[in-house]
A and B are shown apart, each in its own frame.
Chain A
């Protein structure tokens, strides 16, 4: 199976904004609404940040936002904070093609 492609690492200074890309094929994003993003701190389980491309669970800060254009989904973190330093994974639901859920390769975010 082919994972969605993410940059291995992205860094930014406190207060800055960064964007993480997630690129797949047309079959990965056929259900273009079903893209989600997860944050994972070392030794912890993933935490849902964004679902349905751009929706946030109620407890998630507005600093996290999602979008999609063609076969690339993006997660933007604004006002970068030290606690944002973690691994981030995108995930897409593929409707028909198995595996139904495919994750991105993961991006390590470093706050300088």
Chain B
């Protein structure tokens, strides 16, 4: 059973960059797609983007100009960077692994709350 663990600052100032890490416990980082998903407090889920170990990425068009997802397979880590944040970016951010052979997410991290505030 893979374990995903998100980490990063819980507070980011407006206009600054949000940076999060996702530690992956096994080598599925070299075989599976990984996504970032966020959930504003009390609201629904929003897909941010995905990455494959060959560096291929796809992003939600609504965030594409501000988001970057990368990966370090030697460290088993997936990274999220979101630039020019504002209060609307306050959310719990989840790292999720894609199920092999299916277009869905079979394992999720516990999530990390990021508050955008001065």
**Cβ 8 A contact of B105, one of A1, A48, A102:** A48
Query: Which residues 24-56 in B have Cβ within 8 Å of A in the complex?
Result: 35, 44-47, 50
Residues from chain A with a CB closer than 8 A to the CB of B58 are 98, 100
Task: Verify B60–A99 contact, CB threshold 8 A.
Answer: yes
For residue B118, CB closer than 8 A to chain A, the reply is no
Given contacts A3-B44, A45-B94, contact A34 B104 (CB under 8 A): yes
Residues B46 and A34 in contact, CB atoms below 8 Å apart: no
| Separation of A91 and B82 alpha carbons in the complex (Å) | 23
Please indicate which of the listed interface residues A89, A99, A103, A104 has the most CB atoms of chain B within 10 Å of its own CB. Answer: A99
Docked CA distance A101–B35 (Å): 10
Name the interface residues of A1-54: CB closer than 8 Å to any CB of B. 1, 3, 31, 34, 36, 38, 45-48, 51-52
A-B pairs with lowest CB-CB distance, top 9: A93-B103, A36-B104, A101-B47, A99-B60, A34-B103, A45-B108, A98-B61, A103-B45, A51-B104
B interface residues, Cβ below 8 angstroms from A: 35, 44-47, 50, 58-62, 64, 94, 99, 102-106, 108-111
